[in-house]
């Protein structure tokens, strides 16, 4: 799963993800847009954190 997929699954915007995790919005934009590569170890941690948010968030479905 990519950072973008995990962010979207958590229902977050790039700005809200930035605020929540303390990652500059520009970094998120660059990673998702393919301009920069997020280090593999950092990507795994970010995706795990976003997935844990997804699991804690009740769905409307």
- Residue 56 pLDDT: 77
What is the C-alpha to C-alpha distance for residues 39 and 54, in angstroms, rounded to an integer?
22
The predicted-structure confidence for 3-58, as pLDDT tens digits, reads as follows 999 999 999 999 999 999 999 999 999 999 999 999 999 999 999 999 998 877 66
- Residue pair 25/32 in contact by the 8 Å Cβ criterion: no
What does pTM read for this prediction? 0.83
Q: Of 45, 8, 40, 2, whose CA–CA distance to 23 is shortest? A: 45
Domain residue ranges in the chain: 3-55
């Amino acid at each position: 799963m990519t950072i973008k997929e995990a962010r979207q699954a958590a229902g977050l915007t790039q700005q809200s993800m930035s605020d929540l995790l303390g990652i500059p919005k520009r970094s998120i934009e660059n990673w998702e847009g393919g301009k920069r590569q997020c280090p593999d170890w950092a990507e795994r941690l970010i995706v795990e954190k976003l997935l844990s948010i997804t699991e804690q968030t009740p769905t409307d479905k």
